[in-house]
Structure 1
Amino acid sequence: MGTYVIGDVQGCHDSLLALVQKICFRPSRDRLWFVGDIVNRGPKSLETLRAIRGLGVSATVVLGNHDLYLLMVAAGWPKRGKDDTIQLILDAPDADQLLDWLASRPLMHVEGRFAMVHAGLLAQWTIPQARELAAEVESVLQGPSRQAFLADLAGNAPAKWSDKLKGQDRLRCIVNAMTRMRFCSPEGLMEFKHKGPPSNAPDGAVPWFSVPKRRHAGYTILAGHWSALGLCIEPGFVGLDTGCLWGGKLTAYRLEDGEVFQVNAAESTK
């Protein structure tokens, strides 16, 4: 049995098929974990969503910012631009089933000493606390307030966590940390403008996984979201967004032994 953690697919269905073939994936034996952003901007978002949903219990998916964006547009949020590739999902005859399935995915998955989240975790969160906070968001996404929550999800504020946060501000801060964060200050102030490599960190900020005295130390955090970071394997952190969407590679990391599997991007986004 193998557990393979796969980086941001973003609708690159052909690349996903090639990677699944390379690892000789068998649903009866193996499991696939997806770090989020399974849809959007790549050419085959509908096929990707259907394929991953079709894996059933063999697939574990956490929500990324592009997955949430799809749900936001479905709830009435205006589309951002012409590089979106989600319209075929919205027009599909099985759109309701696909969207309900996506909304039922967790924001964070914890198993043993591994924790998977799309972007990152704030240093002051323990893993049990972070999992409880993720569950707060999941409860709203899976309940009758989903549309109202998604309609007011966009925005960068509040950019710093406090246990005193309530309501939509609390939920937005949780979502932004877990699905959008790259850089933050050592005091936990999140910075959302910069997307480049760690060497281009804005003044006063560091990569979230470099903040000292992180309370989730002792776990290995598995994440994606940061294509400029590329494959990054260090104690306590594995970053798996290797830019397949941009012509890079799609990467899988096997939990049992740390072996890395990669395929070149199989499709062009142009």
Structure 2
Amino acid sequence: MATYFVGDIQGCYQELIALLSQVNFNKKHDQLWVAGDMVARGPDSLATIEYLMSLGECVKAVLGNHDLHLLAIIAGHKKVKKQDKLTELLASPNIDKIADWLIKTPLLRKLPNENVYMSHAGISPQWSIVTAEKQARLAQKKLRSSERNLWLKKMYGEQPNSWVDAITDEQKFRYTINAFTRMRYCFSDGSLEFNYKVPPNKAPKNIIPWFHLSKSLEQCYWIFGHWAALQGDFTHKNAFALDTGCVWGQHLTLLHWETRQLYAQNAINIKNN
């Protein structure tokens, strides 16, 4: 059995299929771990999500910010953005099944018997691994409850951006969603910064990539996506950045965990959006 991790697919279905063909992926023997943002901005979100659903238990995905935003659109909390290219997906007769599949997808996963974790954006520097696992479970319980539409509405906002200021259930939930799905940079105290997406060599000096602040990375490996500007630059020996901007005309990246070998598929008929 081979374990593969893939970065943000974002509706780039052709590239996903081509990439899996490179490694002769077999759903009977292999596993595909998907680092979130399966949909939006790319040309084929419906085909992508239906394909992942068809693979059954061999797919181990986590939710990204675009996946959560899709759920909020379905719940009626947000309007569709033209640039997200979700019209076909939202018109699908299987939209309820897609929503149910997504809502059951967790925010955090751990590779069995190894200290390897995956979330869309990373782990908050203000959290231990134990805290991250606990908050992921609590947030997932809310999203899977009968009140999920209420929690999908409450997840929006940038405050609190520090865990020490998260007092109420709503504040803790919002911080958890932001840490797992939106985080890139933090301030020196570990609080979240939301404005910058640029690579570290172009960022202001007062903000720091989360992976350079996280003490948790001394104990484990972390697989994440979300940050296309990194272009897969593993600037921390235990952090694997797999969003390489396929949807922006770059490429889709696959990591074979057992050998640490990387595979890439250039964008097909996609120009920089």
What is the rounded CA distance, in whole Å, between the counterparts of 1:240 and 1:15 in structure 2? 14
| Aligned equivalent of 2:168 | 166
What is the rounded CA distance, in whole Å, between the counterparts of 1:165 and 1:202 in structure 2? 30
**Alignment match of 2:238 (pick from 236, 239, 243):** 236
Answer whether contact 1:114 1:219 (CA < 8 A) is retained.
yes
Q: Secondary structure at the match of 2:218?
A: coil
AA in 1 matched with 2:196: H
AA in 2 matched with 1:179: T
Superposition TM-score, scaled by structure 2 size: 0.95
What is the rounded CA distance, in whole Å, between the counterparts of 1:42 and 1:209 in structure 2? 28
Answer whether contact 1:126 1:216 (CA < 8 A) is retained.
no
Answer whether contact 2:166 2:175 (CA < 8 A) is retained.
no
Aligned residues: 269
Unaligned stretches of 5+ in structure 1? none
Q: Secondary structure at the match of 2:84?
A: coil
Post-superposition offset of 1:128: 2.3
**Higher deviation after alignment, 90-99 or 78-87:** 78-87
What is the rounded CA distance, in whole Å, between the counterparts of 1:203 and 1:263 in structure 2? 34
| Aligned equivalent of 2:148 | 146
Answer whether contact 1:43 1:85 (CA < 8 A) is retained.
yes
Matched, 1:21 2:29: no
**Higher deviation after alignment, 98-107 or 125-134:** 125-134
Answer whether contact 1:12 1:267 (CA < 8 A) is retained.
no
Answer whether contact 1:253 1:260 (CA < 8 A) is retained.
yes
Alpha carbon RMSD of aligned pairs, Å?
A: 1.4
Answer whether contact 1:110 1:131 (CA < 8 A) is retained.
no
AA in 1 matched with 2:51: A
What is the rounded CA distance, in whole Å, between the counterparts of 1:256 and 1:174 in structure 2? 30
| Aligned equivalent of 1:223 | 224
| Aligned equivalent of 1:214 | 215
What is the rounded CA distance, in whole Å, between the counterparts of 1:123 and 1:72 in structure 2? 27
Unaligned stretches of 5+ in structure 2? none
Q: Secondary structure at the match of 1:232?
A: coil
Matches within 5 A, 1:3-18: 3-18=3-18
Q: By percentage of residues, which structure has more helix?
A: 2
AA in 2 matched with 1:221: W
Q: Secondary structure at the match of 1:18?
A: helix
Superposition TM-score, scaled by structure 1 size: 0.96
Post-superposition offset of 1:126: 1.9
Q: Structure 1, residues 6-25: CA drift from partner, whole Å, max 9, x if none?
A: 00000000000000101110
Q: Secondary structure at the match of 1:250?
A: strand
Q: Structure 1, residues 71-104: CA drift from partner, whole Å, max 9, x if none?
A: 0111112226320122222211010011010010
What is the rounded CA distance, in whole Å, between the counterparts of 2:63 and 2:249 in structure 1? 23
| Aligned equivalent of 2:62 | 62
Answer whether contact 2:40 2:66 (CA < 8 A) is retained.
yes
Name segments (4+ residues, structure 1) moved above 6 Å: none
| Aligned equivalent of 1:262 | 264
CA shift in 2, pair 1:129/1:242, >3 Å: same
